[in-house]
Structure 1
Amino acid sequence: MTSLLPRLLTALDRFNTAHPWDHNAHFHPWILRQLPRRFGSALDVGSGSGDLVRLLAARAATVHGIDPDPAIIARARELTAASNTAGVTFTVADAPTGIPGGSYDVITCVAVLHHLPLADALAAFRDHLAPGGTLVVVGLARQQTPVDHLLAAVSAPLNAAVGWRKNRDRTTPAPRPVAMTAVTRPADTGFPAIAHEAHRILPGARLRRRLFWRYTLVWRNRPHGHGDVRM
């Protein structure tokens, strides 16, 4: 049994590699459900090829995407022009210091926060969020606790099932998801520490561990907000 488990995990990893799917895009519908039907301005931090930006543009008057990778920003502009999506701009910029000035009714950040200085980034999001605005983060955390490892164990076979379903009708190899930023690295901060810092900087923030190696954070910029950490 002890020698069988590593072989099974290796086989599962090979299957997942052969049947890739975009884990971040999986959360886009959930992100939209956290937002008003219409809002004025939005900022997507680490916008990559602009998929979420174009979704936000269906509800917002203006959407701005920032990413430090010039090549991916150029691709985002091409895709946005081809889709005739109005009210969208992209800038090559590093967060949190390169966030354009002004305030936004919505700020989103997907699979990027672990690349940034946590406290500085959360404080910048808070300072750039308009009164009544909504911040939505989908992030990655280091696996530390028994709950983390349990969710990872459940996610592994589910990841294979979703990958098979999304790829079963393909006749050519599935493309790898486009990288969100120029430099990638694994998350090195655990969920408890992230939650502690979020509650310090964003009183009332709601955080929750999720399947597929993600957690979510939602914060609404309103006085005397209340929230909790959902395990």
Structure 2
Amino acid sequence: MDPRRAQNGLIRTAVQGLNTANQRHPWSHNDAFHSWILTRAPARRGLAIDIGCGRGELAAILANHFSTVHALDTDPDMRRATGQRCAGLANVHVENVPLDDLPQDADQITMIAVLHHLDLDTALRQVSHSLAPGGRFLCVGLARLDGPTDIAWDLACALTNPVIGYIRHPWPADSAATEAPIPTKEPRQSVDQIREALDRLMPGAVLRRRLAFRYTIEWTKPLQ
């Protein structure tokens, strides 16, 4: 047997096995970071803004920790889903607000799998402008693969994904999701490019690669 053909066959088998495991034990890579956000919430908790709120899972959680939550999304299906989820929460306002009209003096601004949908520099500037001094920007994002380090992290994510799925969702999935699909987009910037933009526009921001094919950004606006 051709060794190269045998190797390719093993790779295909491994990939198929990973895909099967992921389908049997699905989990939300985005929801997994809610606890990361909550443990980094600022001391002052008046106004929170969740940009790209999706189906409203995070907005509903933030409503228990902040006086007012603005859940923003440009997609009408996502706003509708968030409105339904947060129907009993009087302090959650679901809106379609452009970045340059963000509410001011926010104590916290969050994005989960959203930054790559936006113009990077514009989004970071608007977030910085809208945060109150001492306010916190907490972002969970996706980046384009660019170089051996990114590829190594992606491989680690692929290998650990079914393990995490089994731990978080040990029972096999028996039905497809019926919720409105969240809009997706391929990321354009690499981790290094995002870090360079942060150095220019949010000095002191901390960017870390994470499992689940994600990175995180944590930044506190200086107190003037």
In structure 2, the partner of 1:168 is 170
Cα distance change on mapping 1:176 and 1:119 into 2, 3 Å: farther
1:118 is matched with 120
- Distance in 2, matches of 1:205 and 1:171, equals 38
Q: Aligned pair 1:92/2:96, yes or no? A: yes
Whether the aligned pair in 2 keeps the contact of 1:20 and 1:176 (CA below 8 Å) is no
Q: Deviations over 1:98-118 (max 9, x none)?
A: x43422110001100001000
Match 1:26 to one of 13, 32, 41: 32
Q: With structure 2 as the length reference, what TM-score do the two structures score?
A: 0.89
Q: Distance in 2 between matches of 1:177 and 1:163?
A: 20
Q: Matched residues in 1 for 2:111 and 2:180: separation?
A: 16
Partner of residue 107, structure 1 = 109
Distance in structure 1 (CA, Å) of the matches to 2:131 and 2:82? 24
> Which residue does 1:13 correspond to in 2?
19
User: Does the 8 A contact of 2:42 with 2:107 survive in 1?
Assistant: no
Q: Deviation per CA, 1:146-199, whole angstroms, max 9, x where unpaired?
A: 22222211111221112233333357325377544x4x2111210001000011
- Aligned AA for 1:88? V
Distance 1:176 1:160, change over 3 A: farther
CA deviation vs aligned residue, 1:19-39 (integer Å, no higher than 9, x gap): 321100000100111113551
> Quick check: 46-55 or 165-174, which moved more?
165-174
Q: Decide whether the 8 Å contact of 2:112 with 2:141 is kept in 1.
A: yes
Q: Show structure 1 runs of 5+ residues with no match.
A: 225-231
Equivalent in the alignment of 1:136 = 138
Contact 1:48 1:67 in 2 (8 A): yes
Distance in 1, matches of 2:138 and 2:205, equals 10
Structure 2 spans left out of the alignment, 5+ residues: 1-6
Question: Is 1:202 aligned with 2:206?
Answer: no
The 3-state SS of whatever aligns with 1:65 is strand
Q: Say if 1:151 and 1:20 are closer, same or farther in 2 by CA, change over 3 A.
A: same
- CA deviations 1:124-157 (Å, max 9, x no partner) are 1000001110000100001113222222111112
Matching residue of 1:227:
none
Give 1:18 shift. Answer: 3.9
2:213 is matched with which residue? 213
> Residue 56 of structure 1 corresponds to which residue in structure 2?
62
Q: Please, what TM-score do these two structures have when normalized by structure 1?
A: 0.86
2:159 matched residue in structure 1: 157
The CA distance in 2 between the partners of 1:197 and 1:213, in whole Å, is 20
Where 1:137 maps in the other structure, the secondary structure is strand
Q: The residue matched to 2:186 in structure 1 has which SS?
A: coil
